[in-house]
Chains A and B, each alone.
Chain A
Amino acid sequence: NAGVTQTPKFQVLKTGQSMTLQCAQDMNHEYMSWYRQDPGMGLRLIHYSVGAGITDQGEVPNGYNVSRSTTEDFPLRLLSAAPSQTSVYFCASRKQGAGTDTQYFGPGTRLTVL
């Protein structure tokens, strides 16, 4: 198993550009989520999904869109990037109904918006 994979690892955008951060898992996990990590702020939940076709907002959803067309993939879209979205983004997945100790994080995408 590759676990949770994220691409790209690094990205630089200009204000107003759009892009999609990719996340995939091969563990057949129902639950997937996106976090952003900023210095001194810990990890904050952006969006999450409890299964294909179902998504919901987390703590800081503004400026981000998600969709879940398959169990494996959970892309995060920035429609019009802003400097405030400069951050490290982590995707995570877990098995629905299992103990929380099954949650795995990806290696992260480091995004800079100029």
Chain B
Amino acid sequence: GQQLNQSPQSMFIQEGEDVSMNCTSSSIFNTWLWYKQDPGEGPVLLIALYKAGELTSNGRLTAQFGITRKDSFLNISASIPSDVGIYFCAGQRGGSNYKLTFGKGTLLTVNP
């Protein structure tokens, strides 16, 4: 099946630092999504990207849809303790089945 390579697997940062994570694929996706999962909860959508080259912000979060449609990155600026969690990228190829392929996640730890 399709694979999404998400990196890094984990990050340990100090409060106030900026964070960057990315996903790459050998296949083209029509949509890229970024989710955050808090412990014991289901994933919650952070940002959705629909066009190659698109740059979208949501507060301190910024994500971009790569020009080749095979990659995406997520940046978090001025991290705070509540940013702790697992961040997932997901890609959708389009069509009528709406199936998502997920990356394996980036575990973010923020030290106050």
Contacts and interface: CB of A to CB of B under 8 A. Distances in A.
Interface in B89-103: 90, 92, 96-100, 102-103
A108 B92 contact: no
Given A4-B42, A45-B100, A48-B98, 7 more contacts: A42-B4, A43-B43, A58-B99, A100-B31, A100-B92, A100-B98, A107-B41
B100 A42 contact: no
A67 interface: no
B45 interface: yes
A37 B48 CA distance: 21
Nearest to B103: A42
Interface in B35-78: 40-45, 48, 50
B42 A105 contact: yes
A68 interface: no
In terms of DSSP, what is the predominant structure of the interface of chain A?
strand
Contacts of B40: 107-108
A41 B48 CA distance: 22
For this complex, into which size category does the number of interface residues on chain B fall?
20 to 34
Interface residues of A, number: 27
B42 A45 contact: no
B88 A105 contact: no
8 contacts: A43-B100, A100-B31, A100-B100, A101-B33, A105-B42, A105-B43, A107-B40, A108-B41
B98 A31 contact: yes
Nearest to A96: B98
Contact of A107 (B1, B42, B50, B98): B42
B41 to A, nearest CB: 6
A99 interface: yes
A99 B50 contact: yes
A49 B66 CA distance: 30
Given A50-B97, A100-B92, A43 B102 contact: yes
A21 to B, nearest CB: 14
Contacts of A99: 48, 50
A44 B88 CA distance: 12
